[in-house]
Chain A
Amino acid sequence: MGGRTLYDKLWDAHLVAERDDGSALLYIDRHLLHEVTSPQAFEGLRLAGRGPWRIDANLATPDHNVPTTDRAAGIDGITDPISRIQVETLDANCDEFGILEFRMRDPRQGIVHVVGPEQGATLPGMTVVCGDSHTSTHGAFAALAHGIGTSEVEHVLATQCLVAKKAKNFRVWVDGTLRPGVTAKDLALAIIGAMGTAGGTGYSLEYAGPAIRALSMEGRMTLCNMAIEAGARAGMVAFDEVTAAYVEGRPYAPAGPLWPKALDAWADLVSDDNAVFDRELVLDASVLEPQVSWGTSPEMVAPISGTVPDPAQCDDPVRAESWAGALRYMDLKAGQALTSIALDRVFIGSCTNSRIEDLRAAAAVAKGRKVAPSLKQALVVPGSGLVKRQAEEEGLDQIFLAAGFEWRDPGCSMCLAMNADRLGPGEHCASTSNRNFEGRQGHGGRTHLVSPAMAAAAAIAGHFTDVRALLEAGSVA
């Protein structure tokens, strides 16, 4: 018999029942909630006279609507009345059902996918779901984690289970070593470029190989975060000592006599050597350059030394039409060098890249330099209150402020522009977020996805530039 993949093991370990028709009930260990996709689920529970199955499996925090300024005012600081009602509704629902919530004034509040791991509420071997497609982030902990819709949020609240169908196994194997200045984000973008945004549909992805083992937990989270952008609901990385070191000592992680027991259980959270994958993609990390997206889909990426592609050279007519549409929307010309794209705003933040290592990487580039005067705004938005505090302890806020960046309070912010942080029509933005869809960061806005270091370099130059040249020049005193 063939061995089992990590995904197979996680699936088997959570199977509650299998029905004759091939559907299964899968047990959910951790359910994360935010204000946008949960109100209708709570309302559904109430209408049906149901209650949550297991309160202590749930953790909530508002993130999408929260302002990134004036946070001392708490909920009163939300000037948009509709946003405010949504956050109030989350608070009221958590009160009513007794669900643990980190509210706006709590230093632990932040983007739900930053908060879970930071608190040790995301643990190896878990199933983790949330009404948010970037729940794939938590797969970095050798967990089965994916986004669900609001009806499923209600289903998980009511039953602690999900009706699921097993996905197929896809392994992304990355050999070699990332070169200095090339990060997990660049790898994530290159993988999506290679797979296409539908390449992972119907699969669970496992990222494996020497280049993945060498990544920090934060890098692994960045990578898994964007599995959904390759069409895969879940992305994951096997358990190892890097995972253990990150989890140990976190507030909700097992401690005392439970810690060695947990370590023991987690040691098996790896794919067996003889496990069979339905598909595989092999990449070499050592040839990668920093990446920049040029279009309106995350698969539309190119290395920084590259140019905007020519739809006329594309032999697939549907894809050529997509490229042409993207160039019109982005106001770019085929053959144009990526370094010639001038920027209006820069956004460093989002559940992809707002953790402490991301901020350190951006600060290392910004240190002693100045944001180009041609820029209207360069924002740094930490992923959580605790990330913010740590960055301030390290003096990163001072580096950003001295360079002309704005230093904000935690939340989703300009990743999707549900709060006041947004692009104006036609503006180009270097963004460390995960989606460059039309209008994502503001009506008519033009998003380019990059790493935190590349975003900082773009802020300094006023246009895209290879961050490695700046890094070689060293920090300016």
Chain B
Amino acid sequence: MKAFRSVTGIVVPLDRAHVDTDQIIPKQFLKSIRRTGFGPNLFDGWRYLDEGSPEKTENERQINPEFVLNKARYQDAKVLLARENFGCGSSREHAVWALEEFGLRAVLAPSFADIFYNNCFKNAVLPVVLAPEAIDALFQAADPGPLTLTVDLEAQRVSSGAGHDFGFEIDSHRRHCLLEGLDDIGLSLQYAEQIKQYERRRREAAPWLFDALR
């Protein structure tokens, strides 16, 4: 797993609540069997005026100049600012792969959907929950912007160096894995003996849970 310590970059404000993963990466791009190649189709339905398909190349597409990610002042943004319940809906990890590949390494929102939040940590994209008032203040500063923020996982702070400075909470296990870039499968396999013991007890108590699917 890739590590994440801190990121400093321009903030792009996406002023919508309940942004679902179908919007972050539409279904026609989920046919890929690879983990890469999703960046050009991040927010495809909003970023482009024409309908996207895996066959179309980027220069065949019609850019939607109104969409915030396409505005010149937000080019090279590294931090996405969003409203409540970001990443709701489908469990597709492709949504996080698309954000990461596009270059957005942190997402700031008042709340996230559970599965999306989880998926972020597997891909070194940091989801940061801030109080609604802090998010409001950042939206005001980011539009027209530009607002540059540092999102520091180690210090658990989001700051602009010019007045905006917020602490955030994060689960200590996740923080640790992300800072060190640990392989969580490897970590879990350190418990192999406990897993086997559990299976022995379970097989004893509920034998119907084993060997049926062959």
Interface centre among A126, A159, A262 (most CB of B within 10 A): A159
Query: Are B194 and A159 touching (Cβ within 8 A)?
Result: no
Question: Residues 1-35 of chain B: 1 if any A CB is under 8 Å from the residue's CB, otherwise 0?
Answer: 00000000000000111101011001110111111
The answer for the CA separation of A43 and B214 in the assembled complex, in Å, is: 23
Question: Residues 31-60 of chain B: 1 if any A CB is under 8 Å from the residue's CB, otherwise 0?
Answer: 111110000000001000001001000000
A-chain residues with CB within 8 Å of residue B85 when the two chains form the complex: 197-198, 201, 231
The answer for the CA separation of A362 and B183 in the assembled complex, in Å, is: 49
Q: Judge whether A73 is part of the interface by a CB distance below 8 angstroms.
A: no
Query: Are A37 and B93 touching (Cβ within 8 A)?
Result: yes
A-chain residues with CB within 8 Å of residue B211 when the two chains form the complex: 56
A-chain residues with CB within 8 Å of residue B173 when the two chains form the complex: 19, 21-23, 163
CB-nearest residue of chain A to B206: A265
Query: Are A58 and B213 touching (Cβ within 8 A)?
Result: yes
The answer for the CA separation of A417 and B26 in the assembled complex, in Å, is: 10
Q: Say whether, besides A39-B33, A48-B185, A123-B209, A133 and B194 are in contact (CB < 8 Å).
A: no
A297 to chain B, nearest CB (A): 5
Query: Are B195 and A198 touching (Cβ within 8 A)?
Result: no
The answer for the CA separation of A265 and B206 in the assembled complex, in Å, is: 8
Interface segment out of the listed A210-218, A342-350, A435-443, A459-467: A435-443
The answer for the CA separation of A58 and B31 in the assembled complex, in Å, is: 22
A331 to chain B, nearest CB (A): 16
Question: Residues 423-443 of chain A: 1 if any B CB is under 8 Å from the residue's CB, otherwise 0?
Answer: 001000000000101111001
B-chain residues with CB within 8 Å of residue A66 when the two chains form the complex: none
Q: Judge whether B62 is part of the interface by a CB distance below 8 angstroms.
A: no
- CB contacts under 8 Å to B, within A96-148, are 100, 121, 123, 125-126, 131-133, 146-148
Q: Judge whether B122 is part of the interface by a CB distance below 8 angstroms.
A: yes
Question: Residues 163-191 of chain B: 1 if any A CB is under 8 Å from the residue's CB, otherwise 0?
Answer: 00000000111101000000111001101
User: Which residue of A22, A39, A50, A197 is within 8 Å of B185 (Cβ)?
Assistant: A50
Q: Say whether, besides A40-B33, A151-B123, A258 and B207 are in contact (CB < 8 Å).
A: yes
B-chain residues with CB within 8 Å of residue A152 when the two chains form the complex: 118-119, 122
CB-nearest residue of chain A to B86: A198
The answer for the CA separation of A125 and B209 in the assembled complex, in Å, is: 10
Query: Are A437 and B89 touching (Cβ within 8 A)?
Result: yes
A383 to chain B, nearest CB (A): 18
A225 to chain B, nearest CB (A): 13
Q: What is the interface residue range for chain B against chain A?
A: 35 or more
Query: Are A155 and B185 touching (Cβ within 8 A)?
Result: yes
Q: Judge whether A191 is part of the interface by a CB distance below 8 angstroms.
A: no
User: Which residue of A21, A29, A440, A443 is within 8 Å of B176 (Cβ)?
Assistant: A21
Query: Are B202 and A27 touching (Cβ within 8 A)?
Result: yes
Question: Residues 138-171 of chain B: 1 if any A CB is under 8 Å from the residue's CB, otherwise 0?
Answer: 0000000000000000000000000000000001
Q: Judge whether B84 is part of the interface by a CB distance below 8 angstroms.
A: yes
Q: Judge whether B131 is part of the interface by a CB distance below 8 angstroms.
A: no
Query: Are A131 and B91 touching (Cβ within 8 A)?
Result: yes
Query: Are B212 and A233 touching (Cβ within 8 A)?
Result: no
User: Which residue of A132, A149, A254, A297 is within 8 Å of B18 (Cβ)?
Assistant: A297
User: Which residue of A100, A126, A147, A319 is within 8 Å of B115 (Cβ)?
Assistant: A147
Query: Are B22 and A438 touching (Cβ within 8 A)?
Result: yes
B42 to chain A, nearest CB (A): 14
| A interface size (C-beta, 8 A) | 85
User: Which residue of B18, B113, B189, B202 is within 8 Å of A158 (Cβ)?
Assistant: B189
B156 to chain A, nearest CB (A): 15
Q: Judge whether A287 is part of the interface by a CB distance below 8 angstroms.
A: no
CB-nearest residue of chain A to B114: A233
The answer for the CA separation of A165 and B34 in the assembled complex, in Å, is: 29
B-chain residues with CB within 8 Å of residue A321 when the two chains form the complex: 15-17
A-chain residues with CB within 8 Å of residue B209 when the two chains form the complex: 29, 123, 126
Query: Are B185 and A418 touching (Cβ within 8 A)?
Result: no
Query: Are A37 and B92 touching (Cβ within 8 A)?
Result: yes
A378 to chain B, nearest CB (A): 22
Query: Are B17 and A322 touching (Cβ within 8 A)?
Result: yes
- CB contacts under 8 Å to A, within B80-129, are 83-85, 88-94, 96, 111-115, 118-119, 122-123
Query: Are B84 and A198 touching (Cβ within 8 A)?
Result: yes
Q: Judge whether B67 is part of the interface by a CB distance below 8 angstroms.
A: no
B-chain residues with CB within 8 Å of residue A147 when the two chains form the complex: 91, 115
Q: Say whether, besides A27-B198, A39-B33, A318-B83, A149 and B93 are in contact (CB < 8 Å).
A: yes
User: Which residue of A29, A57, A151, A325 is within 8 Å of B93 (Cβ)?
Assistant: A151
A-chain residues with CB within 8 Å of residue B188 when the two chains form the complex: 25, 155, 158-159, 161, 163
A-chain residues with CB within 8 Å of residue B114 when the two chains form the complex: 167, 201-202, 231, 233
A-chain residues with CB within 8 Å of residue B22 when the two chains form the complex: 416, 435, 437-440
Q: Judge whether A150 is part of the interface by a CB distance below 8 angstroms.
A: yes
Q: Say whether, besides A148-B115, A437-B22, A439-B22, A262 and B206 are in contact (CB < 8 Å).
A: yes
CB-nearest residue of chain A to B34: A40
CB-nearest residue of chain A to B205: A265
Q: Judge whether A312 is part of the interface by a CB distance below 8 angstroms.
A: no
The answer for the CA separation of A42 and B171 in the assembled complex, in Å, is: 28
Q: Judge whether A17 is part of the interface by a CB distance below 8 angstroms.
A: yes
A-chain residues with CB within 8 Å of residue B185 when the two chains form the complex: 48, 50, 154-155, 158-159
User: Which residue of A100, A125, A325 is within 8 Å of B214 (Cβ)?
Assistant: A100
Interface segment out of the listed A78-86, A175-183, A403-411: A78-86
Q: Judge whether A281 is part of the interface by a CB distance below 8 angstroms.
A: no
The answer for the CA separation of A417 and B202 in the assembled complex, in Å, is: 41
Question: Residues 213-245 of chain A: 1 if any B CB is under 8 Å from the residue's CB, otherwise 0?
Answer: 000000000000000100101000000000000
5 nearest CB pairs, A to B: A254-B208, A151-B122, A39-B33, A149-B119, A149-B93
**Please, could you name 26 A-B residue pairs with CB atoms under 8 Å apart, sorted by A?**
A16-B195, A16-B198, A17-B194, A23-B174, A37-B93, A40-B34, A131-B93, A149-B91, A149-B96, A149-B122, A152-B122, A154-B185, A158-B185, A159-B195, A161-B188, A201-B111, A258-B207, A262-B208, A318-B17, A318-B83, A318-B84, A321-B16, A437-B20, A438-B45, A443-B45, A444-B51
20 other A-B residue contacts (CB within 8 Å) besides A64-B30, A151-B123, A198-B88: A19-B173, A21-B176, A121-B213, A149-B92, A149-B119, A150-B94, A152-B119, A159-B192, A163-B173, A198-B18, A198-B84, A297-B20, A318-B84, A319-B17, A321-B17, A416-B27, A418-B27, A425-B51, A437-B23, A444-B51
